[in-house]
Amino acid sequence: MQLTLTPEELAFQAEVREFLNANIPAETKRKVDLGLKLSKDDYVTWQKILYERGWIAPAWPKEYGGPGWSPIQRYLYEEELAACSSPRLITFGLKMLGPVLIEFGTDEQKKRFLPRILSSEDWWCQGYSEPGAGSDLASLTTRAIRDGDHYMVNGQKTWTTLAQHANWIFCLVRTNTDVKKQEGISFLLIDMKTPGVEVRPIQTLDGGVEINDVFLTHVRVPAENLVGQENQGWTVAKFLLGHERVGIAGVARSKKQMARVRAIARAEMKGGRPLIEDVRFNERMAEVEIELTALEMIELRLLSEEAAGRKPGPEASILKLKGTQVQQAITELLLEAVGTNVHALDPGILEDHWPPEGMNEDLFSPEYAATVASHYFNWRKASIYGGSNEIQRNIIAKAILKF
């Protein structure tokens, strides 16, 4: 056991840090620091910078455009990304579909789609959940019927994050209704410009519109867009959810958010002194930091085991479960930290440019407080999406109880 970084790892960390800090656009950094909305262009511009440097897909094998880093290097990179105020990279192509195509795709599919994921030319979204198939994903009913060299697709996907920016969607569709529900599912790639694809925004409780319904009405999809074998989609889906563990817990981002809590606590006053000097508030910060440190150590242990070639177990579920709990606990600390500044709602924070030029002195509350409440409300989604925390507990229970 060794908690200090080797000289090589330190050199790697310094190189990454220097590049990221020198190249992140100032406006993007400001938006991330204040928790503001980013435009499609903000995401794509930054991803292209990382792409040019060869760092956009750290987990991909070298022959497909990855940098060939070890799990520890990938971990250090995630940490530096968060520290430099990088936006979350759009995961649907980079962390979901990319690895799926590398594992299950045909040579044609790899050649056609992988370079466009790396270059951010394509923006992918995920067509998994349906109104009647949330936690019980396998009961999905979007139907794909083979018709010569095409599939005819009909159905509805929901909770589709940033579908408004996407030009492609990967979908789980039902291709056989006569078998056990997991055995009749296929994994299909659909061009969003195909007639019959309609995106409708869903407003969330914080007032934002990040998620969408995607309606598929008589959508003709070329059969060559099937990934893996017909009716093998459930295997593909499970691979997609389980294969990547670096970053799943959001440790790096949580550390960055804890720094934000401290910065706010230095600005806010309590009992005539800065809040950062309040013992009780420090106790509450310490409680969250203990959980965060434990989570980070679990992640590092798992990465070491992965580097040694051990197969992943149900630990990915711990990372998701505990990771979202820590993230949500930090949103609670932020709420407490800003005190009475929590109340004001500036509708401008829902736009991707805020505040308008020269409006700073007209803000209802300090700039750092503007998004705190809406972030708290919005981030309740974290324990619901990507397999709710109840589903993660089911997975862990199945693994340890072995019923």
Partner 1 sequence: MNFTFTEEQLLIRETAERFFRDDYGIDTRRHNVAMPDGFCRETWARYADLGWLALGIDEDFGGVGGGAVEMAVMMEAFGRGLAVEPYLSTCVLGGALLRLGAADGVKPALLGQLAEGKLLLSFAYSEARSRYDLNHVECRAVKDGGEYKVTGEKTVALHAGQADKIAVTARTGGDARDAGGITVFLIDRDAPGVTVRDYPTVDGFRAGSVRLDDVAVDAARVLGDVDGGLALIEQVVDFGAAMLAAEAAGVMAALTDQTVTYLKERKQFGRPLGDNQALQHRATEMYIETELTRSLAYMAAVRADDADRTAAARAASKAKVKTGRAGRLIGQEAVQLHGGMGVTEEMPVGHYFKRLTMIDHTFGDAAHHLARLAENPA
Q: For binding to partner 1 (CB under 8 A), which residues are involved?
A: 129, 134-136, 139, 158-159, 202-205, 207, 268-272, 275, 280-281, 284, 328, 332, 335-336, 339-347, 364-365, 373-374, 376-378, 380-381, 383-385, 388-390, 393
Instruction: Determine which helix (DSSP H) or strand (DSSP E) holds 227, and give its type and residue range.
Output: strand 226-227
Question: Can you tell me whether residue 136 is helix, strand or coil?
Answer: coil
Residue type for position 379: W
Query: CB of 293: closest distance to partner 1 in angstroms?
Result: 23
Query: CB of 212: closest distance to partner 1 in angstroms?
Result: 12
Please enumerate in sequence order all residues whose Cβ is within 8 A of that of 279, keeping only pairs 6 or more positions apart, or say none.
none
Query: CB of 206: closest distance to partner 1 in angstroms?
Result: 8
Is residue 244 annotated as part of the catalytic site, yes or no?
yes
Query: CB of 134: closest distance to partner 1 in angstroms?
Result: 5
Q: Which is nearer to partner 1, 136 or 147 (CB)?
A: 136
Q: Which is nearer to partner 1, 205 or 297 (CB)?
A: 205
* Calpha distance 242→234 (Å, rounded): 12
Cβ-contact 293, 322 below 8 angstroms: no
Q: Which is nearer to partner 1, 101 or 214 (CB)?
A: 214
Please enumerate in sequence order all residues whose Cβ is within 8 A of that of 62, keeping only pairs 6 or more positions apart, or say none.
68
Nearest C-alpha neighbor of 13 from the set 68, 61, 87, 78: 78
Catalytic residue among 244, 268, 289, 299: 244
Query: CB of 151: closest distance to partner 1 in angstroms?
Result: 27
* Calpha distance 319→313 (Å, rounded): 11
- 375-399 in b/e form (b: 16+ CB < 10 A) is bbebbebbbebbbbbebbeebbeee
Q: Which is nearer to partner 1, 179 or 364 (CB)?
A: 364
Q: Which is nearer to partner 1, 195 or 272 (CB)?
A: 272
Query: What residues act catalytically?
Result: 244
